[in-house]
């Protein structure tokens, strides 16, 4: 089954404790992206990657890092989480030949205390 998976689905942590949210897709898509969803703000792009070792900032990259060492994986790293990063996070992927039709993961709900 074609899918985008994220782990963990739920995470509660404390300020300053480094964490990683994993994202993996099995569709051989070149493009992957991270979004955060906040009430009243919709989805905002954090980082995206056009292919292995190619990443770039989205609209709200501050406080986040990403890496793309393999085509299927695109982890989101919070080196020192803060309460304003409490949010619902989505990973998405698409084939560059696929007219921007993005496939989304199930989401990770992060709470930073």
Footprint on this chain of another protein (rule: CB under 8 A): 4, 31, 33, 35, 40-45, 48, 50, 56, 58, 90, 92, 94, 96-107
Tokens 């099995």 map to which residue?
26
Beta strands in 17-73 (DSSP E): 19-25, 31-38, 42-51, 54-57, 65-66
Q: With respect to another protein, which residue has the nearer C-beta, 33 or 85? A: 33
Residue 99: partners with Cβ closer than 8 Å, 6 or more residues away: none
CB of 73 to another protein, least distance (A): 18
Residue 60 is given by DSSP the state -
Phi, psi of 84 (to 5 degrees): -75, 0
Q: With respect to another protein, which residue has the nearer C-beta, 20 or 102? A: 102
CB of 100 to another protein, least distance (A): 4
Q: With respect to another protein, which residue has the nearer C-beta, 28 or 80? A: 28
CB of 28 to another protein, least distance (A): 15
Is the Cβ–Cβ distance between 58 and 34 less than 8 Å?
yes
CB of 103 to another protein, least distance (A): 8
């Amino acid at each position: 089954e074609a899918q985008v998976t994220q782990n963990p689905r739920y995470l509660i942590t404390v300020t300053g404790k480094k964490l990683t949210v994993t994202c993996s897709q099995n569709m051989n898509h070149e493009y992957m992206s991270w979004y955060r969803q906040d009430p009243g703000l919709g989805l905002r792009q954090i980082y995206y990657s056009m292919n292995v070792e190619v990443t770039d900032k989205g609209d709200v990259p501050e406080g986040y890092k990403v890496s793309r060492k393999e085509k299927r994986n695109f982890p989101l790293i919070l080196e020192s989480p803060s309460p304003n990063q409490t949010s619902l996070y989505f990973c998405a992927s698409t084939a560059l030949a696929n007219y921007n039709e993005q496939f989304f993961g199930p989401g990770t709900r992060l709470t930073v205390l």
